[in-house]
Copies of this chain bind each other. A is one copy, B any other.
Amino acid sequence: MLKENYLQDYQNLFAVFNAIHPLSEELKSAIIKNSHIAQVKRKTTLLSAGESSNTIYFIVAGGARVYYLDKDGKQTNTWFLFENELLISVYGFFTGQPSFEYIETLEDTTLIVVKREKLDEMYLQFMEFNFIGRKLTEYYYIRNEIQANELRMLSAKERYEQLLKRNPQLFQRVSLGHIASYLGISQETLSRIRK
């Protein structure tokens, strides 16, 4: 029973990967062997600035935010991630440099946890896994690019409207203060825009 529930948590991860490139049983086993499930409470810090960002998470249930502190010590959210999405601090995880970002859960969350060391082993052992990794990196890159373009091109109001249109559920799960910093505007301005 416990074992079955445990495997259940991997099904969505495998489905996401399999839709990109067929996953061999060996690779599935390796993923299970090289990872574990974690249940964490809301507002749990998974990564702090200065630490080495050596873990990648797949969100089975729940959600998290990535943020950093600006020069006045104010939190700026760069990303919100929910079920069936991968969760990392991009800069730290990809470069190996100490993180300047924090990761914190927004809700009680179930995660599949993989250390970068193990991930890198799998990338070397299963070359086809790089196909999947490449595609996923492309996917998140696009999202990031859209974000950067909108910050450059749209006014505060337009960015809000765009987000509301593209991702209305976000407003159900994340406070307006958090969304404001994600949009690159002050909470007061967001409040005024919404009227």
Q: Is the CB of A151 within 8 A of B94?
A: no
Cβ-neighbour of A141 out of B130, B140, B151 (below 8 A): B140
Cβ of A127 < 8 Å from any Cβ of B? yes
Q: Is the CB of B127 within 8 A of A131?
A: yes
Within 8 A of B (CB), among A62-111: 68, 70, 76, 78, 90-91, 94-95
Within 8 A of B (CB), among A126-176: 127-128, 130-131, 133-134, 137-142, 144-149, 151-153
Query: In the bound complex, what is the Cα–Cα distance between A45 and B133 (angstroms)?
Result: 32
Cβ-neighbour of A90 out of B130, B134, B142 (below 8 A): B142
Describe A's contact surface by its main secondary structure: helix
Contacts of A149 in B (CB 8 A): 68, 76, 78
Contacts of A153 in B (CB 8 A): 68, 70, 76, 184
Cβ of A17 < 8 Å from any Cβ of B? no
Q: Is the CB of B70 within 8 A of A145?
A: no
Q: Is the CB of B91 within 8 A of A145?
A: yes
Q: Is the CB of B91 within 8 A of A142?
A: yes
Query: In the bound complex, what is the Cα–Cα distance between A137 and B140 (angstroms)?
Result: 10
9 pairs of A and B residues whose beta carbons are closest in the complex: A130-B130, A127-B127, A148-B148, A134-B134, A151-B151, A152-B184, A141-B141, A137-B137, A130-B131
Q: List 9 A-B contacts (CB under 8 A).
A: A78-B148, A94-B138, A127-B128, A128-B130, A130-B130, A134-B137, A141-B141, A151-B151, A152-B181
